[in-house]
């Protein structure tokens, strides 16, 4: 009997040791990468979906997902090598590059600017907005680009007819709006559902009202050229995870909304439904960076530094997406021809 017990103990110990070895090997195989996402609204959450649905792990990445509430700050962190890859828009990439920064877009899962201008209910027209202020996160950010384009679409001159104030992230803007510090703010679709206290408001303008979509590298995997050169396969794996996350986003509404609600810390159904519906329409199948959209951002950035020799080609590295597509990975995820 004692011999049987001893044999059982030895067997259990052997199994435990084997499992620990397997887990150790698995941990070694997973490459540690720090990745930044910049907002908790639905349109920005392909990153969190890739993380929560296990796509980063599937491709051998042990990701530390870091929240940095501004794409311009995320670009600064990438340049400083505090993170390896981060969510950034073409505006932040172009503005950093003309100042000599080593930064590039490896791919974008969203290439259009989908924003609306939320204003106080008392503001019924563009004329009513004159002399007032609207809030953004930071100058050079996506919200800044959206604010200026929405104002121009209304026939208003940014900073002259309407002041643009740096207020902070989505929650700070909503709070400033509720307190009357700002008369409005640009927002991704659906975010009005999250305004605290039910303050009366209206949508004065929407990017979809413009004559044609405003092309912008919006939800992009930004990194440095030097990191791509050193860790090409790592960046490729990040893009593959984002491709799978985009497909999951489009085909698993319930799972996606659970993830969005977790990071948003809100289960507001009206918001989850409206923001999901608008986001799935614009997610890219193959995440190439829009060159036309990047040129718009570069042309704006060059006004600040006309002597810069930066070109659109130097801001985009599409080689990894081409490689992924050529290998048939996107067809395997979506189904050929879909």
Q: Which domains does the chain have, with CATH numbers?
A: 30-110+217-334 (3.40.190.10), 116-209 (3.40.190.10)
Q: What is the pTM of this model?
A: 0.83
Does residue 224 register a pLDDT over 50?
yes
Q: Each residue of 41-68: pLDDT tens digit?
A: 899 999 999 999 999 999 999 999 999 9
In whole angstroms, what is the distance from residue 149 CA to residue 145 CA? Answer: 6
CB atoms inside a 10 Å sphere around CB 299: 11
Share of the chain above pLDDT 90, in %: 69
Please give the pLDDT value at position 6. 52
Residue of higher predicted confidence among 278 and 235? 235
- Mean pLDDT within 267-286: 92
CB atoms inside a 10 Å sphere around CB 186: 29
- Which strands form 31-37's sheet, in the order they lie side by side? 61-67, 31-37, 85-88, 215-223, 104-112
Please give the pLDDT value at position 43. 93
Contact 138, 170 (CB under 8 A): no
- Which residues, at least 6 apart from 312, have a Cβ–Cβ distance to it below 8 Å? 291, 294, 295, 298
Q: Each residue of 55-113: pLDDT tens digit?
A: 999 999 999 999 998 888 999 999 999 999 999 999 999 999 999 999 999 999 999 99
CA nearest to 105, candidates 220, 210, 211, 271 = 220
Please give the pLDDT value at position 160. 96
Backbone angles phi, psi at 120, to 5 degrees: -60, 150
Please give the pLDDT value at position 22. 42
Weakest-pLDDT range from 27-31, 222-226, 237-241: 27-31
In whole angstroms, what is the distance from residue 217 CA to residue 180 CA? Answer: 32
Please give the pLDDT value at position 192. 72
Mean pLDDT (the chain, rounded): 89
Weakest-pLDDT range from 42-56, 77-91, 213-227, 259-273: 259-273
Q: Each residue of 126-162: pLDDT tens digit?
A: 999 999 999 998 898 889 999 999 999 999 999 999 9
In whole angstroms, what is the distance from residue 204 CA to residue 201 CA? Answer: 9
Please give the pLDDT value at position 14. 47
State the pLDDT confidence band at 26, using cuts at 50, 70 and 90: very low
Q: Each residue of 160-208: pLDDT tens digit?
A: 999 999 998 777 887 888 888 999 999 888 777 776 666 788 999 988 7
Both tokens assigned to 286: 């193959």
Please give the pLDDT value at position 8. 52
């Amino acid at each position: 009997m004692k011999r049987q017990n001893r044999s059982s103990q030895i067997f259990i110990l052997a199994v435990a040791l084997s499992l620990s070895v397997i887990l150790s090997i698995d941990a070694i195989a997973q490459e540690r990468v720090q990745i930044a996402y910049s907002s908790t609204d639905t349109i920005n959450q392909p990153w969190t979906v890739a993380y929560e649905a296990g796509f980063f792990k599937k491709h051998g990445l042990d990701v530390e997902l870091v929240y940095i509430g501004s794409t311009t700050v995320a670009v600064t962190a990438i340049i400083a090598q505090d993170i390896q890859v981060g969510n950034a828009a073409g505006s932040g990439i172009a503005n950093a590059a003309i100042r000599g920064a080593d930064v590039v877009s490896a791919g974008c899962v969203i290439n259009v600017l989908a924003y609306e201008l939320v204003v106080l209910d008392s503001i019924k027209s563009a004329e009513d907005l004159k002399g007032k202020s609207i809030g953004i996160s930071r100058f050079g950010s996506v919200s800044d680009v959206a604010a200026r384009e929405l104002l121009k679409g209304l026939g208003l001159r940014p900073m002259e007819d309407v002041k643009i104030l740096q207020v902070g992230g989505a929650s700070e803007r909503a709070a400033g709006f509720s307190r009357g510090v700002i008369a409005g703010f640009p927002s991704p679709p659906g975010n009005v559902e999250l305004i605290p206290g039910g303050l009366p408001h209206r949508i004065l303008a929407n990017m979809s009202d413009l004559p044609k979509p405003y092309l912008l590298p919006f939800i992009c995997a930004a990194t440095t050229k030097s990191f791509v050169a050193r860790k090409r396969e790592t960046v490729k794996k990040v893009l593959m995870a984002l491709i799978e996350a985009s497909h999951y986003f489009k085909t698993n509404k319930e799972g996606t909304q659970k993830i969005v609600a977790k990071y948003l810390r809100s289960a507001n159904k009206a918001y989850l439904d409206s923001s999901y519906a608008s986001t799935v329409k614009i997610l890219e199948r193959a995440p190439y960076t829009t060159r036309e959209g990047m040129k718009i951002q570069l042309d704006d950035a060059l006004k600040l530094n006309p002597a810069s020799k930066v070109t659109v080609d130097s801001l985009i590295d599409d080689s990894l997406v081409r490689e992924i597509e050529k290998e048939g990975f996107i067809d395997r995820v979506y189904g050929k021809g879909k």
